[in-house]
Amino acid sequence: MKTKLFITGSSGFIGFHVAKRYLDKGCKVCGFDSMNSYYDVKLKKSRLKILKKYKNFSFTKGNLENQKILNNSINKFKPSIIIHLAAQAGVRYSIENPKVYLNSNILGTFHVIESAKKFKVKHLIIGSSSSVYGANKKFPFQEIDKTDSQISFYAATKKSIESLAHSYSSLWKMPITILRFFTVYGPWGRPDMAYFKFTKNILNGKKIDVYNKGKMYRDYTYIDDIVDGIFRLTNKIPKLNSSKKYKNDSLSHVAPIRILNIGNTKKVLLSNFINTIEKIVGKKANKKFLPMQKGDVYSTLSDTKLLSRITGYNPKTKYQDGIMKFLNWYLDYYN
């Protein structure tokens, strides 16, 4: 029988691409999403419309906070794997609206973990974030580094769900993989993210907000590389004591849980990133310089050796090529 995957956040940027990849491989997918209006719902509907063309796809519209809807949907579908990508994303919005994050990310994830336990899923994969490394100054970030210094509420909710997952994995021996994503970008991307706003505003001749004079580094990871990493992980189910096999697989002595960075392993200066968008779009940006934003970190950089050792993960997309692909999609989608 083909693998059955329950994917939360399936109308979101990453969830959509991940669901599509499994459907293209002939797997059965049940998506779950609230279709909330944090950003343009039309974009979420367009993604969902594509997924609905697959006969192996089913969908439940619901909030993770509603445990009953979630349980009913999982009970009906009976997945062997859950990939949990629904969340209230975005560092900046979390400063003004922390409660939304508390509900969606912490309570919502708690319900997903409970369901995974109740329905005995074989592997629960949970989306976390590079932001859990917070103000750390040791680069690249490694999974075994301390993560006690989150500087945004969003990051704090992600760190919290990592702890919740660890406790459940330890108590109930639930196989869980936590993925720390590093700035994911690409076609069908999120309109609240900087690269999306830069492209849109440069094309429309509007000002772009540049924080800290563009002196910030990000490890930009192209969506296809992320999807490839997740796909390779599907059947790499964490086991107790796998640290003997994989260096830095630090948690497995007490619980079948694994934390993995998933990034591009290269840091790019924000101002160089903007220059590249200008070149590709063929227009100069009108820049508005602003001080460093609250909650933002100066730099991110992933070490993904552990993921590579386990799966052969090898991110291939240079950011210049990734931006080009994003622009082509953007022009096509928005005419």
Ligand X SMILES: NC(=O)c1ccc[n+]([C@@H]2O[C@H](COP(=O)([O-])OP(=O)(O)OC[C@H]3O[C@@H](n4cnc5c(N)ncnc54)[C@H](O)[C@@H]3O)[C@@H](O)[C@H]2O)c1
Q: 154 catalytic, yes or no?
A: yes
What is the torsional sign of CA 241, 246, 247, 248? negative
| Residue closer to ligand X (CB basis): 7 or 306 | 7
| Residue closer to ligand X (CB basis): 35 or 240 | 35
How far apart CA 54 and CA 220 sit, in angstroms, is 30
156 makes contact with ligand X (CB under 6 A): no
The token pair that represents 221 in the structure block: 């990871």
The token pair that represents 213 in the structure block: 């004079």
Rg (CA), the chain: 19
| Binding residues for ligand X, total number by CB under 6 A | 27
34 makes contact with ligand X (CB under 6 A): yes
How far apart CA 66 and CA 46 sit, in angstroms, is 25
Nearest approach in angstroms of CB 211 to ligand X is 17
Pairing label, strands 217-218, 268-269: antiparallel
15 makes contact with ligand X (CB under 6 A): yes
- Which residue out of 22, 154, 168, 185 is catalytically annotated? 154
Pick from 60, 88, 177, 234 the residue near ligand X by CB under 6 A: 88
33 makes contact with ligand X (CB under 6 A): yes
Whether the link from the prior residue into 175 is cis, omega within 30° of 0, is no
187 makes contact with ligand X (CB under 6 A): no
How far apart CA 113 and CA 168 sit, in angstroms, is 8
Nearest approach in angstroms of CB 177 to ligand X is 14
Pairing label, strands 257-262, 217-218: unpaired
Pick from 3, 46, 54, 65 the residue near ligand X by CB under 6 A: 65
Q: Which positions lie near ligand X, rule CB under 6 A?
A: 9, 11-15, 33-36, 44, 63-65, 85-89, 104, 108, 127, 129, 181, 183-184, 190
**Residues acting as catalytic residues:** 154
